[in-house]
A and B are shown apart, each in its own frame.
Chain A
Amino acid sequence: MLDIIEFLSRPYGLAAATALIFLAGLSDGVGTRTVGLLVNRITVRAFVLSLLASTLLFLLSAALWVWGAWFVATTLFGMTNALPHFFYVISAAYAPFLFGVLTLLPLVGPLIRVILRLWSFGIGFTVLASLGLTLGQAALSAGFGALLVAFVGWLLSDPAALLGQRLWATLVQSQRPPRSSDLPRVIPGYAPSDEIAP
């Protein structure tokens, strides 16, 4: 762990940290969004655009979480680390999401997703503690960051949903992204009274 922190503390650490979170977000996006997108028969171009958008959102939410945790840690607990340093050190917590693509594995995928989240949480907690915070302070800092992400998400949920719907309608020509469980049970072309359009 200390090796990673030392590595990330070097001058190019900020870029490396951003790249790490970006790749983690991309892998997580592939793991979690592929099914929904492909079930809706999205085009390759729209698929790539959606993944890039989700990766950027992942990166932004990571930045917000880091800022929230840093704000509490410096304001309440007297930590003196500068934000960039804090950012690239704490980015190690996102490393497990590099394996996010494994969420696609049949049957065990959802379990892997939970494991990756717990693993990430564990690393984040350890790194915060290694920066001089007590376990309680680390928990409060991380908790505040998570609350901040949730709050901003809630605040922007309506406009984001509207934007998402419009984007979806433009890309897929459909009002609502159906899930795979929405597939009809009746297969067109074979029903006795074949009234369902193919």
Chain B
Amino acid sequence: MTTLFWFGAALTIVLIIAAVAVPISVLTWWAGWSRRTKVVLPPAPTPAPAKPTPGPFLIYLSGIGDISGEYQTRYESDLLAEIAARVPGLVVISDVFGFSVQNLSMTSQRRLGWFWAWVNQERLRKGGPLKRFGQLINLRNMLHLTVSADRRYGHVYNYSVAEMILQGLVRHGYVPGSGAAITLLGYSGGGQIALATAGYVQATLQAPVQVISLGGVMNSNGSLEMITRLTHLYGTADRTHNLSDWIFPARWPIMRGSPWNQALAQGRIVRICLGPMVHTGRKSYRDASVHIADGRSYRDVTADTISELIARAAQT
């Protein structure tokens, strides 16, 4: 019993230290104390070309299980491929890691890269005894999510990630000034990153920016005053997306003046129920093996809805 107590106490202390370390690491990076690489500003934007601009553009930000901009589950890749197949000319950008201010994958970190690589390896090992260690990745990214949602740190964090998103857009052929429509699609915790960075992307590029949240957890963010629209897609069996209704006080109905409730009242937040989907795994939004009454798979339903929203935004 005593051992259990001390183990619990040690675990709590480690958790608190980690929770304090995340904002500190973001701020010290911002202050230039821990910046490892020199920030290279992108070349000055060229004038918009005469030929039709490419796009529309879709930036996908994964949930808290993500470890890098490159890593994706098969579910994610398949869903993005389905969406791309439905929207002609759609440029899908999925190499932005929303839980790093430098778009640096967890396995590329100087000090803890080896640790995260090991955790990820164990997580992916079928039937491995240490599979549960994978939750550490979720925990680490969840702490980044809270930093993004915190009023004190959010500006610095979201500004920095938005810059990574802009770099991604330019890298994939976006021409600033072209006015091509941009959609930020955030799944789960990625919803917070998508929403929080969207305001910076919109203000910088002066282009129509919409946010689509797929079972997203989001705070009442100032971006809501700037973006075209936030569409929140959810499943009736998804318990996770409801979290943000109560963990963020500014989303409570009594806070009528908050950006969230203002946007809700003005119809700039649209909630669409996709069906009986759960948050993750089997029967989730990205599952192609379960079907609804009309014969479409859950993934088809999700892809249909998202592609329709992207196409509609591109036309306006």
A5 contacts the other chain (Cβ, under 8 Å)?
no
| A180, B45: Cβ atoms closer than 8 Å | no
Residues of A within 8 A of B45 (CB): 190-192, 194
Nearest CB of chain A from residue B244's CB, rounded to whole Å: 12
B170 contacts chain A at the CB level, 8 A cutoff: yes
Q: Is B117 an interface residue (CB 8 A)?
A: no
Which residues of chain A are near B31, meaning CB under 8 Å?
38-42
B28 touches A (CB below 8 Å): yes
Choice from B146, B156, B162, B200 contacting A107 with Cβ under 8 Å: B146
Q: Which residues from 180 to 194 on chain A have a C-beta closer than 8 Å to any C-beta of chain B?
A: 180-181, 183, 185-194
* Interface contact B27-A38, CB-CB below 8 Å: yes
Is A106 touching B41 in the complex (CB atoms < 8 A)? no
In angstroms, Cα B155 to Cα A50, docked, is 23
Choose one: B27, B155, B163, B206; the contact of A34 (CB below 8 Å). Answer: B27
Are the C-beta atoms of B146 and A106 separated by less than 8 Å? yes
Chain B interfacial residues counted at CB < 8 A: 43
Interface size for chain A: under 10, 10 to 19, 20 to 34, or 35 or more residues? 20 to 34
The CA-CA distance from A188 to B205 in the complex, in Å, is 10
| Residues in chain A near residue B155, CB distance under 8 A | 39, 180-181, 183
What 0/1 readout, one digit per residue, does chain B (146-170) give for beta carbons within 8 Å of chain A?
1101111111100100110010001
Summarize A's interface: helix, strand, loop or mixed.
loop
Separation of A190 and B163 alpha carbons in the complex (Å) = 9
Q: How far is the CB of B144 from chain A (nearest CB, A)?
A: 9
Please, what's the 1-or-0 string for B223-257, where 1 marks a CB less than 8 Å from any CB in chain A?
Answer: 00010000000000000000000010000000000
Bound complex: CA of A35 vs CA of B156, how far in Å? 10
Q: Does B143 contact A (CB under 8 A)?
A: yes
Structural contact, B16 and A107, CB atoms closer than 8 A: no
Q: Residue B6 at the A interface, CB < 8 A?
A: no
Beta-carbon contact of A39 and B200 below 8 Å = no
B98-152 interface (Cβ within 8 A of A) = 143, 146-147, 149-152
Is B292 interfacial (CB-CB < 8 Å)?
no
**Are A186 and B27 interface neighbours, CB within 8 A?**
no
Does B177 sit within 8 A of A, measured CB to CB? yes
Q: How far is the CA of A98 from the CA of B22 in the complex (A)?
A: 20
Chain B's nearest CB lies how many Å from the CB of A182?
A: 8
A101: Cβ under 8 A from any B Cβ: yes
CB pair B200 A104 closer than 8 Å: no
Report Cα–Cα, A123/B237, bound state, in Å: 48
Q: Which of A24-70 contact B (CB under 8 A)?
A: 34-35, 38-42, 44
In the assembled complex, B24 has its CB within 8 A of some CB on chain A: yes
Shortest C-beta distance, B251 to chain A (Å), equals 13
A residues near B166, Cβ cutoff 8 Å: 187, 190
Whether the Cβ atoms of B33 and A190 lie closer than 8 Å is no
- B residues within 8 A CB of A44? 33
For B23, the chain A residues whose CB sits under 8 A away are 35, 104, 106
Q: Name the distance in Å between B148's Cβ and chain A's nearest Cβ.
A: 9
The answer to whether the Cβ of B295 comes within 8 Å of any Cβ in the partner chain is: no
A105 on the interface (CB 8 Å rule)? yes
CB distance from B27 to the nearest CB of A (A): 4
In the assembled complex, the Cα of A181 lies from the Cα of B159 at a distance in Å of: 11
- Enumerate 11 A-B pairs (CB-CB under 8 Å) in ascending A order: A35-B23, A35-B153, A38-B30, A39-B31, A39-B156, A183-B159, A186-B204, A189-B41, A190-B45, A191-B205, A191-B206
List B residues at the A interface (Cβ < 8 Å). Answer: 16, 19-20, 22-24, 27-28, 30-33, 41-42, 44-45, 48, 143, 146-147, 149-156, 159, 162-163, 166, 170, 176-177, 199-200, 203-206, 226, 247
